[in-house]
Amino acid sequence: MQGAYQGTYQSWQDAPEAFWSRAAENVDWVTPPKTIFDPNQGVYGRWFVDGVMNSCHNAVDRHVEAGRGDACAMIFDSAMTGTVRKFTYAELQTEVQAVAAVLRNLGVTKGDRVVIYMPMIPEAVFSMLACARLGAIHSVVFGGFAAHELATRLDDCQAKVVISASCGLEPGRVVPYKPLLDHAVDLAKVKPDACLIVQRDQHHAVLRYEHGDIDFAQAVEVEKVKGTVVPCEPVLATDPLYVLYTSGTTGQPKGVVRDNGGHAVALMWSMENVYGMRQGDTFWAASDIGWVVGHSYIVYGPLMAGVTTILFEGKPVGTPDAGTYWRVIRDHKVNALFTAPTAFRAIRREDPEAELLTGYDLSSFRTLFLAGERADSETLKWAERHLNVPVIDHWWQTETGWPVACNPVGLELLPVKHGSPATVLPGYQLDALDDEGHLLPRGVLGNLVLKLPLPPGCLVSFWNADQRFRDACLSEFPGYYKTADAGLIDEDGYIFVMARTDDIINCAGHRLSTGAMEEVCAMHPDVAECAVIGVADALKGQVPCAFVVLKNKVERDEALISREVVGLVRDEIGPVAALKTVMVVKRLPKTRSGKILRGTMQKIADGMPWKMPATIDDPAILDEISEILRSHGYAAPSQPVAAIA
């Protein structure tokens, strides 16, 4: 007999437009779409082209209008400050409306861009929704990024207004944001008209009123007192809701553009059918609003589905201990948690026998979802053993906006295979292709690609860069979107995602570009050339590691230069880049045509079997690389081993 998953996937395959038309009925439209998909619009076609709606209305106002104004919309839990604040849908509406009024006073209208550079505080969520209310386009920049990264984004999206805070809180330190923001605005060619700053008690920022700084709370309070009404602006389903920058293969980040209508349809479908969440449930995505997980499953997905969302400021360990996650689940009766495997590795390292679980009533807890990086079996098994709930690995990326592959517990729990994010979801046709674009048989490793058109909710393009989108994602395998992940699909249709095919690495669940780091290392005046690779790390999955060759006649202390390069990457990209190891080498291994052999270096660093590349220019250089890696504590075999290329 066909199960619920098979039946649903089949119904999508048989009639994709009818499938998404039915899913779209869950959205509250101003004008419901008549055209479900138009292949002639956009880069690969567009969804719901004549539909009109508003994403903020669907996340907030519709619940108030439906009589759920007193239901809990969001719980802010800060393990950093010991604060808990709860917001009903009606309260959320008041807050969002006031922020929208402030933005409107600043001249923000439909289509304008607003950059949000904030820590995990409620005002960040209000700001995102306020932009959506006005039909403005938000671009959230992760708080761990430095001024230069922020400036790049300000320029690329030409932000009219920036919303920020006086500081972020990291364990043991307060991170003042305002100096970073001021520096970014100074660097940016396109200056915002105004910067709204939330003053936090832990650190007050000096506001440059003459440069357009405004105290967020004061401005919002004025609008609340006045009771200013700001209606939700009707927008086309195809109008952009947000731009989210993500690492590409160069220092220039890619602005992933998400539309309003398709996004709402896909997220609401996924909340119910993928995550098994119903109105009144409580969902906790322990991520950050700076990442796609935060956009989709802290803010829009749960709120649109009428599910209570948790906004958590803290870390899985050290705030104050490895029992924090259990405390949050118990205190707020969380039904499902979504986090990155690295968070569970951190908890397991601190509390191997999960002793801190003792005494916590986790009876509300139904499912743990993991994504962001490959989930290793040991971590999965540890979580299953101690939590006694299904542990669901699932696979997606910033570009797709919602899961590509998952064990769809909302439909049915399929048998779990450790190491696999289970099966492809309706909306997606996933194939594994060889480098020439031929379809590979089951079980053979290749390029994981998605047949066009992508379903609703996936990126529609890069911001102002359709051609870059085509070149980066669509041209290599015509008719397909290239995920840039390598993997295989087994006989049962289970997917195994093994590695990236580009220079992106996953460090503590954060997506980083080694190419971008190389660009920064090369800025150091003593560095002639460099290579950055991702090496295996027991906690973070991968961490970056840089090899630098110094210019001739540089006689400065090598350890000092290494520290300077570490500092440069921290200053230019941000602490989140987590580059701590810089090794000075005499030469880099290259092919005869001059290509740096990063893949071979990575295998050596990880202590994996490696083969001497036939095209190598000077094999002796790999001995030097092995030697220096060993001196830094890596397993690095010095001899080529076995037959792995």
- Per CB under 6 A, residues contacting ligand COA are 143-144, 168, 170, 175, 287-288, 291, 293, 315-317, 339-340, 342-343, 346, 372, 508-510, 575-576, 578
Nearer to ligand COA by Cβ, of 88 and 514: the residue is 514
CA distances in angstroms from 392 to 11, 156, 274, 339, listed in the order given: 24, 37, 10, 11
User: Which of 469, 468, 471 shows the shortest CA–CA distance to 460?
Assistant: 469
Binds 398, which of ligand COA, ligand AMP, none (CB < 5 to 8 A, cut-off by type)? ligand AMP
Angle at Cα 178 formed by Cα 175 and Cα 179, nearest 5°? Answer: 85
The helices-and-strands tally (H runs, E runs) of the chain is 20, 32
Candidate list 78, 282, 319, 506; residue touching ligand AMP; CB under 6 A: 506
Q: How far apart are CA 613 and CA 629, in angstroms?
A: 19
**Stretch of 324-332, 368-376, 524-532, 597-605 contacting ligand AMP, by CB under 6 A:** 368-376
Q: How far apart are CA 300 and CA 302, in angstroms?
A: 6
Closest approach, Cβ 187 to ligand COA, in A, equals 18
SS3 track for 162-220? EEEECEEEECCEEEECHHHHHHHHHHCCCCCCEEEEECECCECCCCCHHHCEEEHHHHH
Binds 530, which of ligand COA, ligand AMP, none (CB < 5 to 8 A, cut-off by type)? none
Q: How far apart are CA 195 and CA 161, in angstroms?
A: 6
Binds 485, which of ligand COA, ligand AMP, none (CB < 5 to 8 A, cut-off by type)? ligand AMP
User: Which of 33, 61, 205, 56 shows the shortest CA–CA distance to 138?
Assistant: 56
Closest approach, Cβ 335 to ligand AMP, in A, equals 21
Binding mask 507-526 for ligand AMP (x = CB under 6 A): ----x---------------
Evaluate whether 416 touches 422 at the Cβ level (below 8 Å).
Answer: yes
Nearer to ligand AMP by Cβ, of 326 and 477: the residue is 477
Closest approach, Cβ 144 to ligand COA, in A, equals 3
SS3 track for 209-266? HHHCEEEHHHHHHHHHHHCCCCCCCCEECCCEEEEEEECCCCCCCEEEEEECHHHHHH
Q: How far apart are CA 164 and CA 147, in angstroms?
A: 13
Provide the sign of the torsion angle of the four alpha carbons 29, 31, 37, 38, taken in this order.
negative
Position 570 contacts ligand AMP (CB under 6 A): no
Position 149 contacts ligand AMP (CB under 6 A): no
- R_g over Cα of the chain: 24
Please give the residues from 456 up to 495 whose contact with ligand AMP meets the rule CB under 6 A. Answer: 483, 485
Position 395 contacts ligand AMP (CB under 6 A): yes
> Rounded to the nearest 5°, which phi and psi values hold at 55?
-70, -35
Nearer to ligand AMP by Cβ, of 410 and 487: the residue is 487
Q: What is the largest CA-CA distance in the chain?
A: 74
Nearer to ligand COA by Cβ, of 262 and 372: the residue is 372
**Stretch of 109-117, 304-312, 366-374, 615-623 contacting ligand AMP, by CB under 6 A:** 366-374
Binds 578, which of ligand AMP, ligand COA, none (CB < 5 to 8 A, cut-off by type)? ligand COA
Query: Which letter does DSSP use for residue 16 in this model?
Result: H
The DSSP bridge partners found for residue 37 are: 47
The amino acid occupying position 3 is G
Angle at Cα 369 formed by Cα 365 and Cα 371, nearest 5°? Answer: 160
Position 569 contacts ligand AMP (CB under 6 A): no
Provide the sign of the torsion angle of the four alpha carbons 247, 249, 252, 255, taken in this order.
negative
Binds 327, which of ligand AMP, ligand COA, none (CB < 5 to 8 A, cut-off by type)? none
Evaluate whether 143 touches 133 at the Cβ level (below 8 Å).
Answer: no
Evaluate whether 396 touches 388 at the Cβ level (below 8 Å).
Answer: no
Binds 374, which of ligand COA, ligand AMP, none (CB < 5 to 8 A, cut-off by type)? ligand AMP
Binding mask 404-423 for ligand AMP (x = CB under 6 A): -----------------x--
Nearer to ligand COA by Cβ, of 121 and 578: the residue is 578
Nearer to ligand COA by Cβ, of 459 and 550: the residue is 459
Please give the residues from 272 up to 301 whose contact with ligand AMP meets the rule CB under 6 A. Answer: 292
Position 374 contacts ligand AMP (CB under 6 A): yes
Binds 8, which of ligand COA, ligand AMP, none (CB < 5 to 8 A, cut-off by type)? none
User: Which of 257, 269, 258, 300 shows the shortest CA–CA distance to 426?
Assistant: 269
Position 542 contacts ligand AMP (CB under 6 A): no
Q: Which residues have C-beta within 8 Å of that of residue 305, sequence separation ≥ 6?
A: 267, 268, 271, 272, 277, 278, 279
Position 63 contacts ligand AMP (CB under 6 A): no
Closest approach, Cβ 175 to ligand COA, in A, equals 4
Nearer to ligand AMP by Cβ, of 24 and 380: the residue is 380
Candidate list 397, 447, 514, 542; residue touching ligand AMP; CB under 6 A: 397
Position 124 contacts ligand AMP (CB under 6 A): no
Binds 316, which of ligand COA, ligand AMP, none (CB < 5 to 8 A, cut-off by type)? ligand COA
Binds 143, which of ligand AMP, ligand COA, none (CB < 5 to 8 A, cut-off by type)? ligand COA
Binds 508, which of ligand AMP, ligand COA, none (CB < 5 to 8 A, cut-off by type)? ligand COA
Evaluate whether 148 touches 185 at the Cβ level (below 8 Å).
Answer: no
Residue number with the shortest CB distance to ligand COA?
A: 509
Q: How far apart are CA 364 and CA 388, in angstroms?
A: 12
Please give the residues from 170 up to 209 whose contact with ligand AMP meets the rule CB under 6 A. Answer: none
Please give the residues from 19 up to 48 whose contact with ligand AMP meets the rule CB under 6 A. Answer: none
Angle at Cα 522 formed by Cα 645 and Cα 537, nearest 5°? Answer: 50
Binds 340, which of ligand COA, ligand AMP, none (CB < 5 to 8 A, cut-off by type)? ligand COA
Position 503 contacts ligand AMP (CB under 6 A): no
Q: How far apart are CA 237 and CA 231, in angstroms?
A: 17
Nearer to ligand AMP by Cβ, of 86 and 500: the residue is 500
Closest approach, Cβ 448 to ligand AMP, in A, equals 9
> Which positions lie near ligand AMP, rule CB under 6 A?
246, 292, 371-375, 393-395, 397-398, 421, 483, 485, 497, 500, 506, 511
